[in-house]
Amino acid sequence: MEIKEYYEEIRRTKARLSKELLAGKHAAQPEPEVVTDQYGDSEKVPTGVYLTSVRNRQAGTQAGHVCLATPDNAAERIVEATHRVATEEEIAASLERQAQQRRFHEEQDLKFDTRSRQFRVKLPE
């Protein structure tokens, strides 16, 4: 694929993704934001796309990792065949895993704080 074809494919993929996101075809996507240009015209712009990585030996990616990407970055990753648009189940599982990790780390922080308050240091005179 030549460089011109590569960037044309990225532009087509980004346009398709933006249309699908604004039409609500992808569940659990972040809400689009309203952007006003210098002329006062407003339009809704998608803020992010959830992607799932695909195993790709050349790029060194493993399968199954879910991430949130901008539409520009998402289109690039899809064209490069390292990621695909995530399903609703994959997004829900990833968000639940992140919530569990957040709760675990918060609990660890609380334990650390209570332990640090218990110790008193006596300095030699």
Is pLDDT of 87 > 80? yes
Q: What spatial distance separates the first Cα and last Cα of the chain, rounded to whole Å?
A: 76
Average pLDDT over residues 88-104: 91
pTM (2 d.p.): 0.69
- Residue 78 lies in domain: 3-86
Residue 11 has pLDDT above 90, yes or no: yes
Q: Is 91 a member of any domain?
A: no
13 lies in some domain: yes
Q: How confident is the model at residue 76 (pLDDT cuts 50, 70, 90)?
A: very high
Contact status, residue 53 vs residue 83, Cβ threshold 8 Å: yes
Instruction: Give the residue, 34 or 104, on which the prediction is more confident.
Output: 104
- When the pLDDT of each residue in the chain is averaged and rounded to a whole number, the result is 81
80: enclosing H helix or E strand:
none
pLDDT of residue 118 exceeding 70, the answer is no
Position 107 confidence tier, pLDDT thresholds 50, 70, 90: confident
Number of domains present in the structure of the chain: 1
Burial 49-72 (b: 16+ CB within 10 A, else e): bbbbbbeeeeeebeeeebbbbebe
- β-pair partners for 36: 42
Closest CA to 63 of 85, 86, 78, 83: 83
